[in-house]
Structures are given as structure tokens and as C-alpha cells.
Chain A
Amino acid sequence: MAYNKVAKKYNGKISEVVIGTGDKAITIGGRTALPLHSFDGAEGQTPKLGLEILDTAPTDWIDAFNGIYGDVQNDASAWAKLVEEKYAPDFIYLRFIGADPSGDNKSAAECAELAKKVAESISLPLAIGGCNNVEKDAEVFKAVSEALEGKNILVVSATEDNYKTVGAAAGLAYKQKVGAESSVDINLAKQLNILLTQLGVKKEDIVMNVGAATVGYGFEYVTSTMDRILLAALGQNDVTLQMPIITPVSTEAWSVKESIASEEDAPDWGSTEERGIHMEISTASACIASGSDAVILRHPKSLETMKTYVQGIIG
């Protein structure tokens, strides 16, 4: 008996969201098949890889990054420019850690000022992140969306608590793309998408962050949430879940014991930097294999490896 190959066809499709402008604009999403299953149908756009920089010099990154970047970490524009020229990610992720009220507490206006400078020094698409304080983030995202009108940035992200402000500013007033963050629960992801679209944000302007975890730290919740979302979006043509997925791997991967423990504290474990890169790469590829259409990385070596991976494994 000969083998009977049957391609698995789905009715639904994930939307395509464009970020950035000009030659370097990128499209996120577009799949009609499960992750890496290009033999079944359009895999959509190759997963996009972003590299993370901060608005102020990092205080809790491992020492190896000082070796890689040096003084440029003190100047976000110069840093962004260096990243574009030297490492060429698909997009740059600028995180406003300095806005943290229990830290430097930089004003939204200051952040907007800086965002403008950074945007002017690069041609790559820009995604921006906040300080995890929902009220402050709403202000910062609003100010940055206004300052960067026309740049078509991705705001990562609106949450259940601040979606009205962020959705209205980014999605409606200043024509940016809106990230929608929920924590590893398909119903919460769906709900936030519905709230944003009810507000008036177009579903094609939304990218979901359905949660992130490092491998070993509850990753099963991430993968199962993504599996269920994709099976609903593609298999049941559920339009409220047909937004592409972006996953910020960097902060998660570089905050676990395996990536931070010094060689003195963990003598059997070897180089701290190597461990962190392996944690980041394993997490990023597990995310892509589960459903991420874009991932955010921190280490240039992770970026390099993930480029080879996505180009090789998607037929």
C-alpha cells in the first residue's frame, strides 16, 4: 500500500500587520498553516526577529553586554544606530525602563523626545515597550505615539487596565500598531482583542502578546495557549483571535537563575553568557514553533542563530 499524504488545510488566516515605513518596513503574520508547517500552506511571513535596547544604560543586564555594547548604552540613538548597522534585526525594540516611577521616573514628554531622536537615527521599524507600571505606560505610550506619528511603530502593549488610553492613542489618533497583552489565557487574549476592536481599533492593526515564560518556568502554559489560539483562529476561523503573535523573550530569558548566576555561584554551570544565550535561543525557538510571528531578543548571538534557524527550518 502506498503512503497517502494529506495536506492539512485550514479555513482561517492570521492577519498581516505592517510595521515601519519605507524599504525596511516589515510584515508580521499572515499564516494559513501551523507554525513551521509551510508544507501545508502559506506559512505567512517568516517570523520576525527584534533586538532589545533600553532608553537608559541597563543596570541589571549581565556584564557581557558591556563587552558587546560599551558606552553606546548611554545614548539610545547611537545604540539603536549601532544595532541596525552591526546586527541588522528585522526591528528594534526600545524599552522605556527609565519611566519607572520607582526608578528614574522620566516624564512621558522626555520619553517622547528620546523616542523621536531614536526614530530619526534608524530606518528599521520600531517597537516600544514600557516599565510595567500600567498608568505610567499609558502616558508614555500616548506621548510616544503622538511624537512618532507617521512612523508606524508597534506599541508593546496595551493591557486590560490601560487599553482605552493606549488603544485610543496608538490605534486611533496617531495611526500606530497596537500590541495587546494578556497572560497565558486564551479567553483573556480574546477579550482584550474584542475590547480594542469595540473601541474602534482595526483588527488588522493589532498584534497579540499572549504571555511569555522562559523554558523551564511554566512554558507549557505559553505553548498550550498558543496552540489553542491557533487552532481556534485557523481551524474555527475565529476572527477575534486572528491577530499575529509577538513574544518578548528577552526579559524573561535573561531574568532566570540559569542566565544570571555568576560562575562563582554556579561553578559547574560554566559561562554565564553562554547559558543565557542558550536559554534565550531555546525559548525563542520554542515560541516560534508554538505560534510566535515575532520574537524580541537581547543577545546579538541569539539573533544570529535565530536568523539561521528561521531561514532553514521553514521550507
Chain B
Amino acid sequence: MALSGIEIFKLTPRTNCKECGFPTCMAFSMKVASGAVEIGKCPHISDEAKEKLAEATAPPMKTITVGTGDAERKLGGETVLFRHEKTLVNRPLIAVQFADSMADDVVDAKIANIQKVDYERIGEQMNAEAVSVKFDGDKDKYIKLVEKVAALNKVVVLVCADVAVATEALALVKAAKPVLVGANKDNINDMVALAKGNGAVLGLSADTVEDMYSLVEAAHAADYKELVLNPSTASMAKTFENTIEIRRTAITGGDRVFGYPSIVFVNELAGGDPYLESALAATYVLKYGSIIVVNDINYAQALPFFGLRQNIFTDPQKPMRVEPKVYEYANPKEDSPVLLTVDFALTYFVVSGEIERAKAPAWLLIPDAGGYSVLTSWAAGKFGASVIANAVKETGIADKLTVKKLVLPGKVAVLKGDLQEELPGWEIIVGPEEAMQLPKFLNEFK
């Protein structure tokens, strides 16, 4: 919790020397408390006091960095429970789980899947960013498996509560800033020492929030704060409850003991049912999962998960935009119509989906219209006749055509006259008002 004016006042020398520019230490303290002035303005405040203040005004949740190089990712750091309150900042990772009890062909198949599911969605690369390796009892197999899977250059999560085995495994991967999900109430002190000694993030596992709280306090007592929390239990309901309690204790309760990201083993909750796993994975994208562990990955599971994640972890103030250019559908020819829309990602998805559904050849011209919907960008003056005409010229689309027909979104039919003047060689046609009317429109188009 932020310090009050009085609490800050207690940290000042109380000499009223005025060197900070304020008449009294109290006046200065009130300004600092309100965030209007930096405490550094007082040349006489001790470093200890400055640190205390920094501590008090730090964000509720720590940002934990995992992985290195291309695999590096940040987790946690959230400041709100609901994205509309501000924005969510660090998107959850998917981790595919391996175990030493798995047969070699199963392991190889999963590795192949991880490499196969790798695609671009609105300018971002989608793939499983982490691998989780569980110790099931066979140490030699486990160590070999860790080595094999670490070569994929993903974030490595070691799931191992055996200190000796974890020590050996950690030696192999410590340079990759792994996560060791190994601490519980029986081994917390040894595990903290092990993680600390290897610069690994330590995962704490507990069935109840009370036990989890004690584990974090034990880590703090040993001065270790590179933590993730594993609230997973045998029950879907209890895991959900724990995950919520942890997050809101930190964010709305202001208790930094729980200010850490959570790892949720939806693979274990789903008991091998990939459909149930999807339901749970989607839930935890919305509700505070930072690493979501799944059994395997394929496109059927990845497409909804990454789509949802990309939607939720968008800053509400900065909706996503697609690249302004000419898009092509069903091999358009020199006499195919040129449809027109805006670069707001949602509009693009809806419109392009309908064009694809029509299975009719068409060009789609998208200018830089500010990233708003059709009506919004038109109202803001960013989607007018000159913007559109410029886009036509800059893309050189006319060079590909013998018949030049430009189809306006029906909602901006008013632009027809002006646009016709700007583009004399073209026929400007008013298209449908709703995207869902596009297939009919395209199939009837002459």
C-alpha cells in the first residue's frame, strides 16, 4: 500500500530547510504522497527511506522473466482484475507436458507437434512457448528427457519435487532461466536454496491458499522473490478458487505475498480429455493463468486458444490493426471486383471471412484508416475519398486490372460522388451495408 503523507513525513529530517522547494517537510511529504513530487527532491532523505517508499509504491504483482534469448517471456505484472479497468499486460504461455514415464514415440510425436504448430496471427507468432518436464520416478530417463526437450529452445518448466533429481536437472538448463515447480511444504527451504543458487524461478505447490501463503513467506524469509505459484489441485473447482483468491489478494487486497503469476496444470484437471482441456485453457486465459500446461498441441486446440489470448491481451485503448495493402481471395482476375474496407482487425476478420465464405474471386483493398471501424474512421475523417484514392494509387492495384470496379462499404455510400471524382477511370459501386450480405453480393456480381 502506498505510504501516506504522515508516514512519509516521518522519513524526512523535519528541519524545514526548504531545499526541496517547499516551505515545510510536511508540505513536501503531502506532495510526495499524492505522486506530484519525487522523494529524491529532498537531498537529506536516507537511501533506506527511499527504498521503503519505492517498495510501497511498487505494483501489486511482480513481473517474472522466464527463458532467455528468443524464448524470453515476462509473466505477471498485472495491475487490474478486469481488462476494461485498464489493460492486461503479460499474456499467458502454453506449456506442453512431457514425463519420463512417456514412451519415446509419444515424446517424439509431441515434439513434432510443437514444431508444427507455429503460425502468424495479426503480426504475432503463435506457438507453444514452453515445455514442461515432469519427474515420474526414473531419474536417468528424466535427465535425458530434459536434455532432449531443452534443445527445442523454449521456456523450460521442470516439474520435480525431489531435490537431488532437481539439482541434476537444473544443472543442465540453468542458463535458460527455467522454472522449477518443485517446492512444497516438505522441501521449501532446500528448494529455495536450490533455485536461488541456480537463478531459476521457483514454483510453489500447495492445495490451500493458507499453505501457499506460508510457502511464499518462507521464500521471502530466505530473500527469494523469483516465484510462480501452482494452485492446481485434484479438483477443477478448488483450483479455480485458489487461482482467483491468489490474484485478487494481490490486486485488490494489496498483499504482495500473493503478487506472483500462477501456473495451472489443466492437463491434469482434464484427465486426458482434449475437449475439456480446451474449456479449461480458455477459462484460465480469462482468469489469471500465466503458464497453462496442456497435454499436447495441435491446430484444433491452438487456433481457439491463441485467438482468445490475442483478443484478451489487447490494450482496450489500442485495438489491433491489420497491414494496409491489397488482399486476394480465390485467385482474383483482371476483371474481379475490388472490395474496400478498413484496417481495424475485427472488421478485417469479419469481412474477409465473408469473402472467403463466398468462394468468389475478389480483391480487398485496405488503406491506413486509423484502425477504427468503418463508420468511426469515416466520422473521424480517416476514411474519406482522398484516403481511399491515395491507397488505390499507392498500391498500384489499377495495373492489375482491365475492369476497374471499386465496391464501397454500404455504410459509407455517401462517399460515392467524391470518390468517383478522385478516381475517374473507375466505376464506384455501393456494396452491402452488412458483411454477411457479401456472399450474395459477390455471387450476383457482374
From A219, A268, A271, A313, B311 is in contact (CB under 8 Å) with A219
Among B243-300, those with CB < 8 Å from A are 244-245, 248-249, 253, 255, 257, 269, 273-276, 278-283, 285-287, 298-300
* Residues in B whose Cβ lies below 8 Å from that of A314: 237
Q: How many A-B residue pairs have CB under 8 A?
A: 165
**Which residues of chain A are within 8 angstroms of B286 by Cβ–Cβ distance?**
223, 286, 289-290
With a cutoff of 8 Å between Cβ atoms, the chain A residues found around residue B353 in the complex are 217, 255-257
Whether the pair B304, A283 counts as a contact (CB closer than 8 A) is yes
CB distance from B316 to the nearest CB of A (A): 7
Stretch among B91-99, B195-203, B209-217, B331-339 lining the A interface? B209-217
CB-CB under 8 A from A22, the residues of chain B are none
Q: In whole angstroms, how far apart are the Cα atoms of A39 and B245 in the complex?
A: 10
Segment at the B interface, from A115-123, A151-159, A224-232: A224-232
Answer whether residue B116 sits at the interface, using C-beta atoms and an 8 A cutoff.
yes
Residues of B within 8 A of A166 (CB): none
- Contact A308 B248, beta carbon cutoff 8 Å: no
Tell me the bound Cα distance from A268 to B307 in angstroms. 17
B83 at the interface (CB under 8 A from A): yes
Instruction: Verify B304–A217 contact, CB threshold 8 A.
Output: no
* CA gap between A308 and B272 in the complex, in Å: 13
- Tell me if A86 is interfacial: C-beta within 8 Å of chain B: no
Find out whether the CB atom of A278 lies under 8 angstroms from the CB atom of B84.
Answer: no
Grouping DSSP codes into helix (H, G, I), strand (E, B) and loop, the A interface class, with mixed when no group exceeds half, is helix
Query: A2's contact among B213, B275, B276, B311, by CB below 8 Å, is which?
Result: B213
- Given A217-B346, A218-B349, A224–B316 Cβ distance below 8 Å? yes
Contact check, A282 vs B279: say whether CB atoms are below 8 A apart. Answer: yes
Determine whether the beta carbon of A282 is less than 8 Å from that of B298.
Answer: no
Q: A282-B278, A286-B283 are in contact. Are A220 and B299 (CB under 8 A)?
A: no
Set of chain A residues within 8 Å of B212, measured between Cβ atoms: 3
Question: Is A164 an interface residue, CB under 8 A from the partner?
Answer: no
Cβ contact within 8 Å between B307 and A215: yes
- Does A126 have its Cβ within 8 Å of any Cβ on chain B? no
* Contact (Cβ within 8 A) A220 B273: no
Q: Across the two chains, which residue of chain A brings its CB closest to B299?
A: A269
Most chain A CB within 10 A, of B245, B248, B310, B357, is at B245
Given contacts A2-B213, A282-B278, A286-B282, A216 and B237 within 8 Å (CB-CB): no
For the complex, what is the distance from the CA of A315 to the CA of B303, rounded to whole Å?
29
Contact with B along A287-309 (1 / 0, CB 8 A): 00110000000000110011011
> Is the C-beta of B138 less than 8 angstroms from some C-beta in chain A?
no
- CA distance in complex: A214, B249 (Å): 31
Does A260 sit at the interface, judged by CB under 8 A? yes
Q: Are A278 and B83 in contact (CB under 8 A)?
A: no
Let me know if A178 is at the binding interface, CB within 8 A: no
Evaluate contact between A278 and B304: CB separation under 8 angstroms: yes
**Residue B56 lies at the interface, judged by CB distance under 8 Å to chain A:** no
**A38 at interface, CB cutoff 8 A:** yes
* Any A CB within 8 A of the CB of B185: no
Residues of chain A lying within 8 A (CB to CB) of residue B278: 278, 281-282, 285
Q: Is A220 in contact with B311, judged by CB distance below 8 angstroms?
A: yes
Chain B's closest residue to A228 (CB) is B84
Contacts of B83 in A (CB 8 A): 220, 223-224, 227
**B314 on interface, CB distance cutoff 8 Å:** yes
A301–B275 CB distance below 8 A:
yes
Chain B residue at smallest Cβ distance from A231:
B82
Q: Could you tell me which residues of chain A, from 190 to 229, have a CB within 8 Å of some CB in chain B?
A: 214-221, 223-224, 227-228
Is the CB–CB distance between B282 and A285 below 8 Å? yes
With A6-B253, A8-B248 known as contacts, the answer to whether A215 contacts B300 (CB < 8 A) is no
Q: Which residues of B contact A257 (CB under 8 A)?
A: 353, 356
Complex contacts, A269 vs chain B, CB 8 Å: 299-300, 303
| A37, CB-defined interface residue at 8 Å | yes
Please, which residues of chain A bring their CB within 8 A of the CB of B275? 277-278, 281, 301-302, 305
How far does the Cβ of A33 sit from chain B's closest Cβ, in whole Å?
Answer: 11
Shortest distance from the beta carbon of A258 to any chain B beta carbon, whole Å: 5
Least CB distance from B53 to A in Å reads 22
Which chain A residue has the least Cβ–Cβ distance from B274?
A278
Whether the Cβ atoms of B241 and A282 lie closer than 8 Å is: no
Q: Which residues of B contact A223 (CB under 8 A)?
A: 83, 286, 312
Residue of B nearest to A222 (CB): B311
Measured as residues with beta carbon below 8 angstroms from the partner, the interface class of chain A is 35 or more
* A306→B237 CA distance, assembly (Å): 14
Q: A313, B283: Cβ atoms under 8 Å?
A: yes
Considering the chains assembled together, what is the distance between the CA atoms of A257 and B355 in angstroms? 11
Residues from chain B with a CB closer than 8 A to the CB of A67 are none
The residues of B that contact A228 with a CB separation of less than 8 Å are 82, 84
Chain B hits for A258, CB < 8 A: 303-304, 307
Asked if A217 meets B307 with Cβ closer than 8 Å, knowing A282-B281, A285-B279, the reply is yes
B88 shortest CB reach to chain A, Å? 10
Question: Chain A residues with Cβ under 8 A from B301's Cβ?
Answer: 278
User: Which B residue's beta carbon lies closest to that of A313?
Assistant: B236
A218 engages B276 (CB within 8 Å):
no
Interface string of A164-202 (1 = CB under 8 A from B): 000000000000000000000000000000000000000
Partner of B303, one of A3, A271, A279, A306: A279
List of A residues within 8 angstroms of B253 by Cβ: 6
Q: Are A268 and B299 in contact (CB under 8 A)?
A: yes
Q: A1-B217, A217-B349 are in contact. Are A315 and B238 (CB under 8 A)?
A: yes
User: What separation, in Å, do the CA atoms of A314 and B241 have in the docked complex?
Assistant: 9
Which residue in chain B gives the minimum CB-CB distance to A305?
B275
Measured CA separation A281–B301 after assembly (Å): 10
A284 within 8 A of partner (CB): yes
Pairwise interchain contact A289-B300, C-beta atoms closer than 8 A:
no
> At the interface, yes or no: A274 with Cβ under 8 Å from chain B?
yes
Q: Within 8 Å of chain B (Cβ to Cβ): is A275?
A: yes
Closest residue to A60 on the B side, CB-wise? Answer: B357
Q: Who on chain A is nearest to B255 by CB?
A: A4
**Are B84 and A289 in contact, with the CB atoms below 8 A?**
no
Given A220-B83, A313-B236, residue A268 in contact with residue B304 (CB < 8 A): no
A59 CB–B CB distance under 8 Å: no
Contacts of B269 in A (CB 8 A): 312
Partner of B210 from the list A3, A102, A306 (CB cut-off 8 Å) is: A3
Do A315 and B280 contact each other (CB < 8 Å), given the known contacts A271-B300, A286-B285?
A: no
10 contacts across the A-B interface (CB closer than 8 A): A2-B213, A3-B209, A3-B214, A215-B304, A221-B346, A258-B304, A275-B303, A278-B300, A289-B286, A313-B236
Contacts A36-B283, A278-B301, A282-B308 known; list 20 others, CB within 8 Å.
A36-B240, A102-B440, A215-B308, A216-B310, A218-B346, A219-B308, A223-B83, A224-B82, A255-B357, A258-B303, A270-B298, A274-B300, A278-B300, A278-B303, A281-B275, A281-B282, A285-B279, A285-B283, A290-B286, A313-B283
Across the A-B interface, give the 5 residue pairs with the lowest CB-CB distance, nearest first. Answer: A216-B307, A315-B237, A282-B304, A3-B213, A215-B308
